[in-house]
Structures are given as structure tokens and as C-alpha cells.
Amino acid sequence: MPKVEKHAPGSFCWVELATTDQNSAKQFYSTLFGWKPADFPIGPSEVYTMFQLGGGDAAAGYTMREEERKSAPPHWNLYIAVASADDAAKHAAELGGKVIAPPFDVMAFGRMAVIMDPTGAVFRVWEAKQTIGTTVGGEPGTVCWADLNTPDVPRARQFYSALFGWQIAPGEHDPSGYLHIKNGDQFIGGMPPDAGQLPPHWILYYQVTDCDTSTAKVKEMGGKVMMAPMTLENVGRFSVVADPQGAAFSLFQPMAG
């Protein structure tokens, strides 16, 4: 399994589940992706679950506190690597974003901030110290892509390009209006042209061996299929699902060969 040694600034470096039922989530994702959960105390009655795959860290999860439950349903958090969380938060505010949680240290692991972009989508920035974030990738059970669903694509495009130096542009010979996000020489995500009635948000894609089989497994385990598997020509097959607590994510099966 490919080991990740470092995350370049501007790359997606960590993913974290905010849930209302941590034990149920551990069982669900362990069955779906083969993750092995490891709990670490973060308070008198709270634990932070690291989801490990092939000996590396693939994701994490925690139980939402009461104040967080009032403002958001269960969801996946996306972290973006930066050289300085303080500089990134300051720059984000200057660009019209809102700093929801100012930069703070996470023990000796790193420094982070929670930011809302000018269109309303929330993300986190991570300045690595002892912990870089995910240490496995490119295999089934690892995050492989993320889409920003927003009603104001031009504003979001301007904000993220300025903040992270991303190149955000349509694909060649693609009339759909979908914009590809490129960080350095790596394509990492995209922006669909129409978010519909959904509130602004980032949605994560997890690589799977068989999209149809994994989608059916989600339903069998009490999750919800929000978009049935469909094929993207010359790309792969994907679906949109939610776990039993309601946290939404996508399953992606790359095109063979």
C-alpha cells in the first residue's frame, strides 16, 4: 500500500468524521472500507478514533458535542495542508472568508483553523508538526478526490485560487461546466457547475474496488443511497451515499487499466 510521507501545501491532507454515534460509525466504516479503529482519549469521557488501513492512518472520527450538533448534521471534515495556519487564516479573512475557529495547537501534532469560504462551505487548514495527516493513499479505502458544491462557483474559484494557489479550470473537451482543481501538478478535486438546493459543502470521494458492491453494502448496513452508481466516461464509476447517522460521501471506482 502506497505510503504518504508528506502533503504539499494546498493538498487535501486529512479527513475526519463528525458523528452522533461513534461506535456505530466505527462498525460501519470498518466493514465498508476495512479500516481498523484505534481510540485515543481526548477528555474524561471522549475518544478520538483513528481509522487505520495497512498500518497507516486513513481517516479519523469523533462524537459531535452539543453545540456542534445545533449548527450542523453529521458530516465529514476536510483538512487542507498549509505552511502556516496563522497566515492561511489571516489571508482567508482578507479574501472574504470567515474564520470560525482561530488558529490553535492540537497538542504537539499540528496547528489548525476552521474557515468558512465566502460562499458558505467550511473546511480546515492544517499546519503539520508531529502529524502530517493521512499516511496512506491511492488504494481502496482511502480518500481520492473532493468536490466543492457551491451556488457561487466564480466567487469560490477566486477565493481558493488566491488562498491556495490552485489552478481551477474546465477539463479539455468537457462541455459540462465542471471545473477541475489542480494543486501543483496534481489534480485533487473539482467544482460542479450546479449545486442544486444543497447548502454549500465539500464532499469526499473514497476509492473502492467495485462501486456497485460497496453502494449495496452501504444500504445493507443501514446507510442511504443518495445517488445510484453512474459511469463517468473514461473516468470511472461513482455513487453518493450517507452513513446511518447521515454523513454523506461518495464512492469512486477508477476506470480499469
The reported pLDDT for the residue numbered 93 is 98
Measuring CA to CA, which residue among 120, 43, 63 is closest to residue 245?
A: 63
C-alpha cell, 103: 488558529
At which residue does the C-alpha cell 490552485 appear? 166
Instruction: Give ∠ CA 55-58-59 in degrees, rounded to 5.
Output: 135
Buried b (16+ CB within 10 A) or exposed e, 32-55: bbebebeeeeeeeeebbbbbbbbe
Q: How far is CA 39 from CA 14, 43, 56, 61, 106, in A?
A: 17, 12, 15, 9, 16
In angstroms, the Cα distances linking 63 to 82, 122, 227 are 26, 18, 26
Residue tagged 445493507 (cell numbers): 220
Interval 23-76: pLDDT, tens: 999 999 999 999 999 999 988 889 999 999 999 999 999 999 998 999 899 999
**What's the pLDDT score for residue 175?**
81
What letter represents residue 175's amino acid? P
Residue 149 C-beta-side C-alpha neighbours within 13 Å: 14
Pairing of strands 12-19, 56-63: parallel
Asked if 160 and 181 touch (Cβ cutoff 8 Å), the reply is yes
Rounded average pLDDT over 222-227: 98
Instruction: Identify the pLDDT of residue 257.
Output: 61
Contacting residues for 168 by C-beta, under 8 A, at least 6 apart: 157, 160, 161, 179, 180, 181, 182, 191
User: The pTM is what?
Assistant: 0.96
Give the integer Cα–Cα distance in Å for 70 and 221: 26
Instruction: State the pLDDT at residue 195.
Output: 73
* pLDDT tens profile 245-257: 999 999 999 987 6
pLDDT at residue 22 greater than cutoff 70: yes
What does the pLDDT look like over 131-181, one tens digit per residue? Answer: 999 999 999 999 999 999 999 999 999 999 999 999 999 987 778 889 999
Residue 1 clears pLDDT 90, i.e. is over it: no
Q: What is the mean pLDDT of the chain?
A: 95
Tens of pLDDT, residues 106-120? 999 999 999 999 999
| pLDDT over 90, % of the chain | 89
- Give me the residue label for grid cell 502506497: 2
DSSP H helical segments within the chain, as ranges? 22-33, 66-71, 85-94, 153-164, 211-220
In the prediction, which pLDDT does 44 show? 84
Terminal Cα distance for the chain, rounded: 18
DSSP, collapsed to helix, strand or coil, labels residue 222 as coil
> In whole angstroms, what is the distance from residue 183 CA to residue 164 CA?
8
Domains along the chain? 12-128 (3.10.180.10), 143-254 (3.10.180.10)
Question: What is the reported pLDDT for 194?
Answer: 80
Q: Kindly provide the residue ranges of all beta strands, DSSP E only, lying in 70-185, ordered along the sequence.
A: 75-81, 98-106, 110-116, 122-128, 143-149, 167-170, 179-183
Q: What is the pLDDT of residue 170?
A: 92
Looking at residue 256, what is its pLDDT?
78
Distance CA 190, CA 149 (A): 9
Contact 189, 204 (CB under 8 A): no
